[in-house]
Amino acid sequence: MALIVHKYGGTSMGSPERIRNVARRIAKWYAAGHQIVVVPSAISGETNRLIALAKEVSPDPDPRELDVIASTGEQVSVGLLAMALKDLGIKARSYAGWQVPIITDSAFTKARIESIGRDRIMSDLAAANVVIVTGFQGMDGDGNITTLGRGGSDTSAVAVAAALEAQECLIYTDVDGVYTTDPRIVPEARRLKVVSFEEMLELASLGSKVLQIRSVEFAGKYRVPVRVLSSLTDPLMSLSVESKSGTLITFEEDEHMEQAVITGIAFNRDEAKITLLGVPDRPGVAYKIVGPVAAANIDIDMIIQNQSVNGTTDFSFTVHRNDLAKALDVLKKQVKESVGAREIIGDANVAKVSAVGIGMRSHVGIAAQMFETLSRDGINIQMISTSEIKISVIIEDKYMELAVRALHKAFELEAQVGGAGLTLGA
């Protein structure tokens, strides 16, 4: 008998039939003697609908109230799932985040989990209940409802698993594992049986939305075994097959790791580029530009400064696309004159494409191969950043899918003929 956390995403909870299937799957695990805690997302589309509704009423909604609204999708899901389990004759209890409690900081719409109460869940489990806890939502120290950022139910699930010292956290979703890239963009993408924690962290942070980045961070910090697998298979399939299916995130680089140089290609359409033209090339200027942007709570991603000509240079950096207008406003009001920039340009038509792989450490020439591949398709690279295990480029967004496909092919990431099959949900 083991304590196992299951997480079901929006598509997995996408209709009454799918919710009943989730209940059947849980019932199978329960019948095998396991203690199960379930963390469901809102029904697919529901969080979007709630946020759109809020914005129809108030174009720039108050973040505290937005969280009150956006969190309700998950509350509906826990109730529905508990009912479906009870209909199968299984004892189940549903909880909202504040009831557990899942305590977060007060950063509405992107709160971080600080602690999770164990007592209520553990006593329910001891009384043979399946415990169902809302994903995505928590409560701050003042009792305000918070949410964890889009895709945050992954983080709720891994954090609950860490708090309960669960044996495994199973992330059930609409693909049957982590692929070499998003199979919606490259149908030839191949499922990885295992992926190292470090690579998963890079893939998630560079845009692979199969797992929210913070869930991977939690998994690493608390060494939670996480497996990504499909919720769209037969819910009554053999437990021994299901428990080994999907993709396992591993913490050891062992003999099971595939020996590829590049493990996956990630992409992100959420970036925007800002360029300050004609900036004096003097000590302290980078700080004067970046300081006020950071003070406005805007995260900066890539930064590049050109060679100076006649004492001036161009300085570019990227921010989240949603922060572009705010960042430009800060720069025009607080930076342009004090730094003496000639012009400030914002460009939302960019995307970031990244190649990730721990094999890069022991191979040279990967960057050259990447740049050559992009140049063959006439794709101009605007910015580059590298780490030990990744290379990222900023390109014009209309070339993003072309770049992903070309790199996926160039690094030979495709499935073998007759290889892994793919089941994608609606």
Q: Which of 36, 43, 116, 178 binds ligand ADP (CB under 6 A)?
A: 178
Indicate the residue type of 155: T
Binders of ligand ADP among residues 317 to 346 (CB under 6 A) are none
Residue 48 CB, nearest approach to ligand ASP (Å)? 7
Q: Which range touches ligand ASP (CB under 6 A), out of 12-20, 144-152, 200-208, 386-394?
A: 144-152
Place of tokens 């329960």: 30
Q: Which of 173, 196, 215, 318 binds ligand ADP (CB under 6 A)?
A: 173
Q: Quick check: 151 binds Mg ion (CB under 5 A)?
A: yes
Residue 359, binding choice from Mg ion, ligand ADP, ligand ASP, none, Cβ under 5 to 8 Å by partner class: none
Q: Which range touches ligand ADP (CB under 6 A), out of 25-33, 73-81, 181-189, 390-398?
A: 181-189
Q: Quick check: 73 binds ligand ASP (CB under 6 A)?
A: yes
Q: Quick check: 118 binds ligand ASP (CB under 6 A)?
A: no
Give CA 193 to chain center in angstroms: 19
Q: Quick check: 136 binds ligand ASP (CB under 6 A)?
A: yes
- Rounded (10°) angle between helices 366-376 and 400-410: 130
Q: Quick check: 316 binds ligand ADP (CB under 6 A)?
A: no
Q: Which of 61, 138, 152, 183 binds ligand ASP (CB under 6 A)?
A: 152
Q: Which of 208, 312, 382, 392 binds ligand ADP (CB under 6 A)?
A: 208
Residue 210, binding choice from Mg ion, ligand ADP, ligand ASP, none, Cβ under 5 to 8 Å by partner class: ligand ADP
Residue 136, binding choice from ligand ASP, ligand ADP, Mg ion, none, Cβ under 5 to 8 Å by partner class: ligand ASP
d(CA 395, CA 384): 9
Q: Quick check: 10 binds ligand ADP (CB under 6 A)?
A: yes
Q: Which range touches ligand ADP (CB under 6 A), out of 65-73, 172-180, 328-336, 390-398?
A: 172-180
Residue 79 CB, nearest approach to ligand ASP (Å)? 15
Closer CB to ligand ASP, 42 or 210, in the complex: 42
d(CA 184, CA 174): 11
Q: Quick check: 196 binds ligand ADP (CB under 6 A)?
A: no
SS3 per-residue string spanning the chain? CCEEEEEECCCCCCCHHHHHHHHHHHHHHHHCCCEEEEEECCCCCHHHHHHHHHHHHCCCCCHHHHHHHHCHHHHHHHHHHHHHHHHCCCCEEEECHHHCCEEECCCCCCCCEEEECCHHHHHHHHCCCEEEECCCEEECCCCCEEECCCCCHHHHHHHHHHHCCCCEEEEEECCCCCECCCCCCCCCCCECCEEEHHHHHHHHHCCCCCCCHHHHHHHHHHCCCEEEEECCCCCCCCHHHHCCCCEEEECCCCCCCCCCCCCEEEEECCEEEEEEEEEECCCCHHHHHHHHHHHCCCCEEEEEECCCECCEEEEEEEEEHHHHHHHHHHHHHHHHHHHHCCEEEEECCEEEEEEECHHHHHCCCHHHHHHHHHHHCCCCCCEEEEECCEEEEEEEHHHHHHHHHHHHHHCCCCCCCCCCCCCCCC
Q: Which of 23, 175, 206, 279 binds ligand ADP (CB under 6 A)?
A: 175
Residue 266 CB, nearest approach to ligand ADP (Å)? 7
Which residue is nearest to ligand ADP, using beta carbons? 9
Q: Which range touches Mg ion (CB under 5 A), out of 46-54, 151-159, 160-168, 260-268?
A: 151-159
Residue 246, binding choice from ligand ASP, Mg ion, ligand ADP, none, Cβ under 5 to 8 Å by partner class: none
Closer CB to ligand ASP, 138 or 152, in the complex: 152
Q: Which range touches ligand ADP (CB under 6 A), out of 138-146, 208-216, 316-324, 329-337?
A: 208-216
Nearest to 300 by CA among 317, 288, 314: 317
User: Do β-strands 383-387 and 271-280 pair in parallel, antiparallel, or remain unpaired?
Assistant: unpaired
Q: Which residues are at the interface with ligand ASP (CB under 6 A)?
A: 9-10, 41-42, 47, 73, 135-136, 150-154
Q: Which residues are at the interface with Mg ion (CB under 5 A)?
A: 9, 151
Q: Which residues are at the interface with ligand ADP (CB under 6 A)?
A: 9-12, 41, 151, 173-175, 178-179, 181-182, 184, 208-210, 264
